[in-house]
Structure 1
Amino acid sequence: MTLTTQQQILIEQRVTNEAKSTGAAYLIWFLLGGLGVHRFYLGRTGSGIAQLMLFIFGWITLPIFVGAFLLITLAIWVLIDAFLIPGMVQSHKEEVRRGLTSSALIMSSS
């Protein structure tokens, strides 16, 4: 079964309304990137926790110089995230679109 044009338009409107903002993701990344907050915002909880742990343990172990390596690793990861944010936002939009499409198909087949 396929969706009608009206259903497709409604899905795209909901995707636009429910999707995460690239601008907001970059703002969060700029202000709180080292804490992984931008990853929490984009639904990447596991890697957000990993970044947060690197930040915490990096600062705790900085006096014994282990923390420097953790913080450098985190800094590189956060810098790479600047290039990955658009793809993460697009991935979130696709997830929302898939969910709405499957719900619409289920409703139209009932």
Structure 2
Amino acid sequence: MTIKGQLTLQEQQTVASAIATYAKNPRVAYWLWGLTGFMGGHRYYFGKTWSAVAMTLIFWIGVWYFGVGALITGVWWLYDGWHLASWLSADRQYQTQTAVREITLRKQLRAKTN
């Protein structure tokens, strides 16, 4: 049995609420990927800042000076599109684990104070 399965109904609702509040929105993620993906917009949304900056710089410097920036980031963009669903799943799992961890810590704290 998983830790999440050991939660009360109210605690499970708290976890669901945390996921709804803090997890990345798939519509926003795919929208950013589709419209700003060549420049790394979706990577900024997922907190992948260093690779997002690299993607932005490769795109703009490559376009203006070498003419190949769009080709390089275009391949990168397609690769990211393939992996976007797994990023969303990982984020959702992280938000679930974080919420469950907070509930567990609160339970332990209450048990110590009683």
Using the size of structure 2 for normalisation, the TM-score is 0.80
Q: Residues of 1 paired with 2:82 and 2:13: CA distance?
A: 30
- Equivalences for residues 1-110 of structure 1 within 5 A: 2-62=6-66, 67-68=67-68, 70-110=69-109
Aligned residues: 105
- Pairwise CA RMSD: 1.8
**How big is the shift at 1:17?**
2.5
Structure 2 unaligned residues grouped into runs of 5+: 110-114
Structure 1 unaligned residues grouped into runs of 5+: none
Q: Percent identity?
A: 24
CA deviation digits over 1:26-57, x for unaligned, max 9? 11111111110111112222221121121122
CA deviation digits over 1:53-104, x for unaligned, max 9? 2112212322xxxx42x43221101012111111111111111111111111
